[in-house]
Structure 1
Amino acid sequence: MIPTLVMIALGAFVTTLDNTIVAAGAPSIARDLGLDLPTLQWVSIGYMLPFAGLLPVAGTLVDRWGQAATLRAGLLAFGAGAAVGGVAMTAWLVIAARVLQGAAAAFLVPTLLSLLRTNLDARGRAVGATVWTACLAVALALGPPLGGVLSEYLGWGWIFFVNLPFVAAMLALRRKVATAGRDPAARRPAAGSMLVMTTGMVLITAAVVRLGEGDVLAPVALGAAGTAFASWFVLREKRARERLVPPELTRQRVFTGALGVQMLWGLGVSGIFFFTPLLHQEFLGLGPVLAGLPLVVVAVAVVAATPLVPWAVPRFGPHRTVATGLATVAAGLLALAAVNHVPEVLPRIPSLVLIGAGSALTTPLTSYALEIVAERHSGTASGLLTASRELSSALGVALIGTVLAVVRTARLGEGAAPALAGGYTAGLLTAAALELVGAVLAFKLLKERAGRNPSPSDKRGDPFLTSP
């Protein structure tokens, strides 16, 4: 039991850390490699998009390839990406390293979670779920300040190199963890649909990023191509024998509503999270360490407010709980926009607390959606919810980055730092609007089965995939 718990703890921490550690080091990467804002966004997006695109089929491939082979290959690929990123001297090599790490993480996550099912009893799985969630929270809190410390004192390459001790430890521990072999009866993955969907996601994200460059023709062309691939995906799914998304899930209003609302939450929060250290360095004049430190407040607020969720849901229903959380996030973003002209950190802290506390209240988005799906679709539903979270993060960085870039360019006459602050304020207002739309949709779409108390047999989802 102990080797399995240690393995999943290390894996949960390092795959989540790579989502957040880049934020504080991104300004240093931009300065050293001479990156403009649109290119810098791909350092983050490059990890999130392959993570999101591969997750829907990764679980099936784990069954077909076996836990041992998938775990070994995933760790080696993740480590290779870290090594390449640490020594990279060009933007596209850094982005390629991030893509490799994101693809590897898409296989590592379902492999590690499957170890909980195969290696532990019911009590052990409960402990494992707690360990997994705790490691996610710790990585969320430590990522920005750790990225700042490494960038300031050792160089931004160590943002990548810091992954290698975790990979080495997991490779060594792998021999002590029992793993299941290949399952010849595992269903074939819908690889074709996955490829079409991922291509569409990349093209649409690229279109949003290119909007920030002031070009018109390229975003229109990329957007049209992305839309064409998205339409192809829909038609392919209708005719496919093995669907990427089972029709039973697409017909479930609460589940599709949860996916949509979660997308809106990620679109608003993730982009702001990525660009905050940049603002703190360029506008507030902070170093990499102090620039990332205020984001710890968000993580602490998430952890502190999470115990309210099991108290609130039975009393107010998941629809009101989630809607209140999104409204609270919007209030925090608007409050931050109101003080953004002040070049100090302290006035921003209450706003960051609101954003973190509100995000904690969105947890039922995942847990409630998993409770109402059939047991045979619980793994697929978990993968889709996790994938939508990663996709919304990638699109959020692209969208908020575009808003920031457009407004900053229009206000460059005021000076570089004030122009960046003006763009960040516009990004905050955009994010707040998205959160408010999400709050309205959550109240309406999650209301269908509100008040129902699921029986133990209904709780078929994966509890370790229920954090926002």
Structure 2
Amino acid sequence: MLPGRTTGPVGLAQPRGAAVPTLVIIALVAFVTTLDNNIVAAAVPSIGRELALGLTELQWISLGYILPFAGLLLVAGNLVDRWGQRRTLLLGLLVFGTAALAGGFARDAVTLIAARVVQGCAAAVLVPATLSLLRTNLDVRGRAIGAGIWTAALAVAIAVGPATGGLLSEHLHWSWIFFSNVPFAIAAAALTPAAAVVTGRSAPGRVDVRGMLLVTAAMLLFLMALVGTGEDTPGPAGRFVLAGLGAVSLAGFALVQRRSPNPLLPRALVAERAFLGGVSVQLLWGLGVSGVFFFTPLLHQESLALTPTEAGLPLVLVAVAIVGATPLVAPAVERWGPRYTVLAGLILVSAGLVAIAVINHIPAVPPRIPGLLLIGAGSALTTPLTSFSLEVVAARDAGIASGVLTASRELSSALGVALIGLVLTVRQNAELAGGTPAPHALASGFTAGLITAAIVELLAAVVTFVCFRSRTAELVAD
């Protein structure tokens, strides 16, 4: 199917040569939508100083992008199936690039966070439209290649984003971390007509707007309970109330889904154990890694006294390890199967986090290198998750399935920033109350965050062991 013509799920012929533009678009969209979140990490101190923001407000610069991204993905996946790939891709790229320009020109917190929210909405449309190309334009082998490119691109973006953000904010201005998104959007838009030839199809039923609003409200309330809201952050009782309201919203979402004739999550997906397992493992992996990556440059600048460029540069080693370990993934799957390949990857990620935690009291970068390499190599071994999860999905549900997968990743990023931030802040405040100097208190809080993330990765390994059985392996082999 890759070299010649393909046929999509609605009987539309795919043109010869569509595979290459498809793979390039997959790489571009995966990279830029992930980079747009992680590139902010090393620039956080610079933004905070210029706009006079505290740690809570700085977290919302990241969460302002992630939250609408995760909250709208399920509806966006449905819209891809209704509107077609070309229309949704071009619209998403236009809005994404325009919002990036607005963020670059912003000079106050409200404008900047608003631009981030709009970018998150656009990314929610872009990602499922792009991932659905895996299912409609490529054969089984092509989907495996595309899924590997997708996962590798987002993992590399996670790793190089902070270094790039530090470089731009130190030598130009932090606004360039947003301007840098625009060329990627233009390139992807130029390739879209050649790849996204499915121009539209009818999807049955109506979009479940109530479900979307309830699940987004639940996420927002939970994040407000974890992170706070800045100067007006509620106390423990207020946070408990917010969390309770979040639980009520989540219960309402479940009830609406059960009664709706057109739920956000098709019942066929909910009933598919391999798909749910892949979504859960991806969520847990991202929850552990994303929060640590967000706060690593801050630690390097505030505790190790590194420049913004130097603070983000060590994370490039994660990308190097990912690239180096990726060729080993296919042989590992062939020899051990998907279950034990992903399991080994998650254990390596956990070991890398613990390795950094053990030496985190040392104010130097070299002792951190082995841990960073382990995190990268382990992350590479988790890349089969996407292709395995999509392989069990019917072609008619390609858009919504892609949305669910990416929603889990983005939700994990939001929860990761919130969870690790909460652990870090609690431990840091306890140390400061005991008279510990600020840099050492921050390092101590970060160590607690690393240990928490390592435990989350081990939990993901347990889910992998339970959910990835022989059936998944047989599907991949086919």
Instruction: Name the CA distance, whole Å, in 2 between partners of 1:244 and 1:355.
Output: 34
Q: Deviations over 1:320-339 (max 9, x none)?
A: 22222222111111111110
The Cα of 1:14 is off from its aligned counterpart by 2.0
Count residues in correspondence. 456
Alignment equivalent of 2:361, drawn from 337, 341, 359: 341
State the AA in 1 paired with 2:446: Y
**Residues of 2 paired with 1:445 and 1:59: CA distance?**
24
**What's the counterpart of residue 216 of structure 1?**
236
Task: Please identify, of 186-195 and 383-392, the stretch whose mean Cα deviation from structure 2 is larger.
Answer: 186-195
Does the Cα contact within 8 Å between 2:99 and 2:119 map onto a contact in 1? yes
Structure-1 residue corresponding to 2:310: 290
In 2, the alpha carbon distance for the partners of 1:177 and 1:405 equals 46
**Could you say if the C-alpha distance between residues 308 and 4 of structure 1 is closer, same or farther in structure 2, counting changes exceeding 3 Å?**
closer
CA contact (8 A) 2:152 2:380 kept: no
What is the rounded CA distance, in whole Å, between the counterparts of 2:384 and 2:185 in structure 1? 32
Q: Which of 209, 223, 229 does residue 205 from structure 1 map onto? A: 223
In 1, distance between residues paired with 2:351 and 2:140? 40
- Say which SS state the counterpart of residue 307 (structure 1) adopts: helix
Aligned mates of 1:164, 1:72 — CA distance in 2: 13
Residue in 1 that maps onto 2:458? 436
TM-superposed CA distance for 1:150, in Å, is 0.6
TM-score, reference length from structure 2: 0.87
* Structure-2 change in CA distance of 1:365 and 1:167 (3 Å): closer
Corresponding residue number in structure 2 for 1:318: 338
**For structure 1, which runs of at least 5 residues remain unmatched after alignment?**
457-468
Instruction: Please list the CA deviations of residues 148-200 of structure 1 after superposition, one character each: whole Å capped at 9, or x if unmatched.
Output: 11100111111111122333445556677764434345553323212211111
Residue 426 (structure 1) aligns with? 448
Counterpart code for 1:403: V
3-state SS, counterpart of residue 188 of structure 1: coil
Q: State how far apart, in whole Å, the 2-side matches of 1:444 and 1:127 are.
A: 26
Query: Which of 39, 50, 57 lines up with 2:57 in the alignment?
Result: 39
Distance 1:371 1:357 in 2: 24
Letter in 2 for 1:427: G
Shift of 1:440: 2.2
Deviation at 1:13, TM superposition (A): 3.0
Shift of 1:220: 1.0
In the superposition, relative to structure 1, how do residues 401 and 214 fare at CA in structure 2: closer, same or farther (>3 Å)?
Answer: farther
Matched, 1:368 2:388: yes
Does structure 2 conserve the Cα–Cα contact (< 8 Å) formed by 1:330 and 1:355?
yes
Q: CA deviation at 1:135?
A: 4.3
Are 1:84 and 2:102 matched, yes or no? yes
Aligned equivalent of 1:388, options 382, 404, 408: 408
Relative distance call for 1:174 and 1:315 in structure 2 (3 A) is: closer
Q: 1:385 to 1:236 in 2, by over 3 A?
A: same
Cross-structure match for 2:439: 417
Q: How many Å separate the matches in 1 of 2:327 and 2:278?
A: 21
Q: What CA distance in whole angstroms lies between the structure 2 residues aligned with 1:442 and 1:5?
A: 28
Task: Tell me which residue corresponds to 2:42.
Answer: 24
> Equivalent residue for 2:7?
none
Q: Give yes or no for the alignment of 1:194 onto 2:212.
A: yes
2:76 matches 1:58: yes
Alpha-carbon contact 1:210-1:218 (below 8 Å) kept: no
Q: Is the 8 Å Cα contact of residues 60 and 186 (structure 1) preserved in structure 2?
A: no
Q: How far apart are the structure 2 equivalents of 1:6 and 1:442?
A: 30
TM-score by length of 1: 0.88
Say if 2:467 is the partner of 1:445.
Answer: yes
Match of 2:298 in 1: 278
Secondary structure at the aligned position of 2:471 is classed as coil
* Alignment correspondent of 1:461: none
Which residue in the other structure is 1:158 paired with? 176
Give the Cα–Cα distance (whole angstroms) in 1 for the partners of residues 271 and 25 of structure 2.
Answer: 37
| Residue 351 of structure 2: aligned partner | 331
Percent identity between matched residues is: 58
Q: Deviations over 1:408-463 (max 9, x none)?
A: 1111221111110010011011111111222223222323636536563xxxxxxx
Residues 277 and 376 of structure 1: is their aligned pair in 2 closer, same or farther, counting only changes over 3 Å? same
Give the C-alpha shift of residue 48 in structure 1.
1.5
Partner letter of residue 109 of structure 2?
A
Residue 146, structure 1, aligned to residue 176, structure 2: no
Q: Where do 5+ consecutive residues of structure 2 fail to align?
A: 1-16
The CA distance in 2 between the partners of 1:180 and 1:450, in whole Å, is 29
Name whichever of 299-308 and 129-138 sits farther off. 129-138
Q: 1:10 to 1:22 in 2, by over 3 A?
A: same
What secondary structure does 2:382 align onto?
Answer: coil
CA gap of 1:227–1:190, structure 2 versus 1, over 3 A, is same
SS in structure 1 at match of 2:218: helix
Q: Is the 8 A contact 1:82 1:101 kept in 2?
A: yes
- Which range is displaced more, 353-362 or 368-377? 368-377
Q: Is the 8 A contact 1:75 1:104 kept in 2?
A: yes
SS state at 1:12 partner? helix
Report the residue type matching 2:207 in the other structure.
P
* Counterparts in 2 of 1:455 and 1:374: CA distance versus 1, 3 Å: farther
1:261 alignment partner AA: V
Return the alpha-carbon distance in structure 1 between the equivalents of residues 133 and 398 of structure 2: 16
TM-aligned CA distance change 1:118 to 1:311, over 3 Å: closer
Tell me by how many angstroms 1:266 deviates. Answer: 1.5
